[in-house]
Amino acid sequence: METAYIDKNELREYLAKELPVIIEENPNIQKTIFLISRKNFADKEETDHRFERMLEELQKDREENNRKWEEQNWRFDQKWEKTNKRLDDLIRQSDERFAAMLQEIKDIRSRQESSVGALGARWGIAAESSFRNALKAILENRFDVQVLNVTEYDHEGFVFGQPDQVEVDIIIKNGEIIVCEIKSSVSRSDMYAFHRKVQFYEKQHHCNVSAMMVISPMLDRYARTVAEKLGIEVYSYSEDVRL
């Protein structure tokens, strides 16, 4: 009996052509193919279930990542807040120390100025008194003049704008009255006040003053202008005085 021989290519072409028809027409073959393929490929329900599990895992991963991120941000914020607080404390402490040092410097300067001012005031008063006493002795002993220190109360406040004591130094020579002001320093207002003292003395004693003199080592330039306008003689040194 002669055996028929089929070429492989012809077999492939035949199967490709006839196999789909055979499978479609034979339910048993379809079932067998389904059972065989089911072992290697998941059905729709299992596929959906697997997909849902994947989504759940992704969601959990995302939530975990968010939690870690928030925790990291919280730690960073806490650290940043502590750093800022520490920096603010350092700045505040530095400002407080600087303010304390500045206040201490101001206090020292104020005490020094007060001390110097008080010393200068005491020295000025002492110098005026000493100079007045020396001038009185020189004038009375060598030039045959009378030197008086007169203190009277100005009830109307003519000199200083309110009631107060008024002190003037009077030099009397041959019947002439000279009013003298001896001060360590003289300003423009001092010069006006001296002129009102002279007017007050003339009014109180019903007399005319022959001359007005101001003796001071420190004379404001505006005071000299006022002195010239009011007819007051000004001497910067005692030896400039001529009687």
Does residue 209 sit within a domain? yes
Does residue 201 sit within a domain? yes
Residue 23: which of 34, 8, 11 has the closest Cα?
Answer: 34
Domain range enclosing 155: 143-240
Ranges 108-122, 140-154, 179-193: which has the least confidence: 108-122
% of residues, the chain, pLDDT over 90: 23
pLDDT value at position 121? 45
pLDDT band at 101 (very low <50, low <70, confident <90, very high): confident
Q: Name the residue with higher pLDDT: 132 or 69.
A: 69
Does residue 84 sit within a domain? no
pLDDT value at position 141? 67
Does residue 101 sit within a domain? no
pLDDT value at position 201? 93
Ranges 91-100, 106-115, 164-173, 198-207: which has the least confidence: 106-115
pLDDT value at position 198? 94
Name the amino acid, one letter, at 243. L
Query: Per-residue pLDDT for 197 more than 90?
Result: yes
Average pLDDT over residues 114-137: 54
Give the three-class secondary structure for 153: strand
Residue 76: which of 84, 86, 65 has the closest Cα?
Answer: 84
Q: How many structural domains is the chain composed of?
A: 2
Name the amino acid, one letter, at 32. T
Query: Per-residue pLDDT for 238 more than 50?
Result: no
CATH number at residue 213: 3.40.1350.10
pLDDT value at position 73? 76
Please list the residues that pair with 170 across neighbouring strands: 148, 179
Does residue 98 sit within a domain? no
Nearest 10 degrees: Cα torsion 202, 203, 205, 207: 50
* pTM score above 0.75: no
pLDDT value at position 229? 94
For 90-115, letters b (16+ CB in 10 Å) and e give eeeeeeeeeeeeeeeeeeeeeeeeee
Query: Per-residue pLDDT for 136 more than 70?
Result: no
Does residue 204 sit within a domain? yes
Does residue 186 sit within a domain? yes
DSSP 161: S
Q: Per residue in 215-232, pLDDT tens?
A: 888 888 899 999 999 999
Q: How far apart are CA 183 and CA 129, in angstroms?
A: 9
Average pLDDT over residues 125-130: 56
pLDDT band at 172 (very low <50, low <70, confident <90, very high): confident
Query: Per-residue pLDDT for 2 more than 60?
Result: no
Q: Per residue in 142-170, pLDDT tens?
A: 677 788 888 999 999 999 999 999 998 88
Ranges 59-63, 136-140, 146-150, 191-195: which has the least confidence: 136-140
**10 Å Cβ neighbour count for 27?**
9
Does residue 30 sit within a domain? yes
pLDDT value at position 48? 64
